[in-house]
């Protein structure tokens, strides 16, 4: 039977796709259905049909799965932030393990994978220390803020995200109230007019410090002293800044920052290390789980105080400073100059002197330092972006022949590709552990320990 767009099908959901969508079959025709979970029987409308598969929209859950739960957030289906909130947390963890294992088997060609149990969260809600809320007008003309609906730029109004810090709501209430009182216009993407584009909030889970950064299509906020006055009433308020972004693009933050009150950063901790975080800093959004992730990376690095370590894609030095507690010397590399400035400041803040930071592309800095200056490494730690490691970088790692490589990944497909390359050229998988940093989403962090075969 041939299926077409707008056909209605009944499906038994038997599997889960890599983006969390349910997968069922109708007469051999595979249908991917967002918001359906394994074990559901559903009615779905086919929205797009290819030859052997299609994409459907969930119309009705006929028989709910034993793994289905009621989402805590009433906007979970519309919002693009959570993909699998309707799935029980235990099954979310099982899905993530299965996804990573599948990539390692299919892309990496690995079998008998030495995978430890996934490290889940004790409390899988209100864990995010950072949120960026777009600002606009609703259909009724009111100023609203919330999150974009999946794959759109339509704002779903929500000031109280189930994944965000509790302080977010109060900050948003006060900013919107100020905008209404002083007739400050929200930005309009279609026309490029209006002033307030986004509200960025960071919260220090260990210090209780709060940061608010208002991103504007200009260089000033009218009556900003009134906004400051209101925000300062919130306990823990530490940093209030204005960020200029006049670009007609999807980029949230511009490069120019103006201090409205307090300081330009907040301080937070991961383990015993303190970090200063500015609005522009990259910092892990889930500090409790990050501590577990870094502890696992440190365990896999197996440091005894005599090792020289390279930390590639080091950001603001989060892993570097963790490693420096147990290594002889650590060198970090990051392409973003502001992040390297933060890394150096963070080393100073913690009194850590056995570190050095380089600005540049890891795939350029590492070969240069190795080939020109003969800089060696006992252990190399990589924590690349989603696209994984550059091939030049992988080749340099192989030339340097460190005893151990620790690979921290946010994308298991590129991880599997890179591990295959390293393991075909002298390394072997020693240990793998998943750490769930992002409950209710399809994302997961993986840390892998590799050993050189001849050690």
Token pair listed for 257: 């920052």
Give the C-alpha separation, 217 to 192, whole Å. Answer: 8
DSSP 303: -
Q: How far is CA 193 from CA 134, 189, 246, 250, in A?
A: 15, 7, 10, 15
Give the C-alpha separation, 305 to 303, whole Å. Answer: 6
DSSP 31: E
Regarding beta strands 404-409 and 445-452, do their DSSP bridges make them parallel or antiparallel, or are they unpaired?
antiparallel
Could you give the count of Cα atoms lying within 13 Å of 143 in the half-sphere of its Cβ?
25
Q: How many residues does the chain have?
A: 455
Give the C-alpha separation, 136 to 186, whole Å. Answer: 5
Task: Clarify whether 410 is annotated catalytic.
Answer: yes
Q: Which of 82, 161, 410, 423 is catalytic?
A: 410
Give me the helix-helix angle, 391-400 and 412-423, nearest 10°: 40
Closest CA to 335 of 393, 377, 295: 393
CA 13 to chain centre: 28
Could you give the count of Cα atoms lying within 13 Å of 201 in the half-sphere of its Cβ?
31
Token pair listed for 245: 């972004």
Regarding beta strands 53-63 and 29-33, do their DSSP bridges make them parallel or antiparallel, or are they unpaired?
parallel
- Long-range contacts of 335-342, Cβ-Cβ distance < 8 Å, separation of 24 or more: 335/359, 335/360, 335/361, 335/362, 336/282, 338/278, 338/280, 338/281, 339/281, 339/282, 339/314, 339/315, 342/275, 342/276, 342/277, 342/278, 342/281, 342/316, 342/317
Token pair listed for 391: 């091939």
Residues taking part in catalysis: 410
């Amino acid at each position: 039977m041939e299926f077409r767009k707008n056909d209605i099908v009944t499906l038994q959901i038997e599997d889960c796709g890599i983006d969390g969508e349910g997968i069922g079959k109708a007469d051999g025709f595979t249908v991917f259905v967002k918001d359906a979970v394994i074990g559901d029987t559903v009615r779905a409308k086919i929205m797009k049909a290819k030859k052997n598969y299609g994409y459907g929209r969930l119309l009705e859950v006929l028989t709910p799965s034993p793994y289905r739960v009621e989402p805590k957030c009433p906007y979970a289906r519309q919002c693009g932030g959570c993909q699998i909130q309707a799935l029980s947390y235990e099954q979310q963890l099982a899905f993530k393990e299965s996804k990573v294992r599948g990539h390692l088997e299919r892309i990496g060609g690995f079998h008998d994978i030495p995978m430890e149990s996934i490290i889940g969260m004790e409390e899988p809600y209100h864990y995010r220390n950072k949120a960026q809320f777009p600002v606009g007008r609703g259909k009724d003309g009111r100023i609203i803020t919330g999150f974009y609906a999946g794959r759109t730029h339509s704002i779903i109004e929500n000031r109280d995200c189930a994944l965000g810090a509790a302080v977010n709501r109060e900050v948003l209430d006060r900013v919107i109230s100020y905008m209404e009182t002083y007739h400050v216009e929200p930005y309009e993407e279609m026309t490029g007019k209006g002033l307030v584009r986004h509200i960025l909030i960071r919260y220090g889970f260990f210090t209780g410090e709060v940061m608010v950064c208002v991103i504007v299509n200009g260089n000033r906020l009218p009556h900003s002293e009134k906004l400051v006055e209101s925000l300062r009433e919130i306990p823990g308020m530490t940093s209030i800044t204005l960020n200029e972004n006049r670009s007609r693009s999807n980029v949230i933050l511009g490069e120019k920052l103006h201090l409205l009150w307090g300081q330009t950063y907040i301080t937070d901790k991961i383990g015993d290390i303190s970090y200063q975080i500015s609005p522009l800093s990259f910092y892990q959004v889930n500090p409790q789980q990050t501590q577990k992730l870094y502890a696992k990376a440190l365990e896999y690095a197996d440091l005894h105080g005599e090792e020289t370590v390279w930390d590639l894609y080091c950001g603001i030095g989060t892993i570097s400073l963790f490693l420096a507690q147990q290594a002889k010397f650590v060198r970090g590399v990051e392409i973003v100059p502001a992040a390297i400035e933060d890394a150096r400041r963070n080393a100073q803040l913690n009194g850590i002197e056995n570190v050095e930071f380089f600005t540049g592309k890891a795939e350029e800095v590492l070969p240069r330092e190795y080939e020109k200056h003969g800089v060696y490494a006992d252990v190399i730690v990589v924590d690349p972006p989603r696209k994984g490691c550059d091939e030049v970088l992988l080749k340099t790692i192989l030339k340097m022949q460190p005893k151990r490589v620790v690979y921290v990944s946010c994308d298991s497909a590129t991880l599997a590709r890179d591990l295959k390359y390293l393991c075909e050229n002298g390394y072997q998988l020693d240990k793998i552990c998943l750490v769930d940093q992002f409950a209710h989403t399809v994302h997961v962090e993986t840390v892998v320990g590799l050993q050189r075969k001849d050690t």
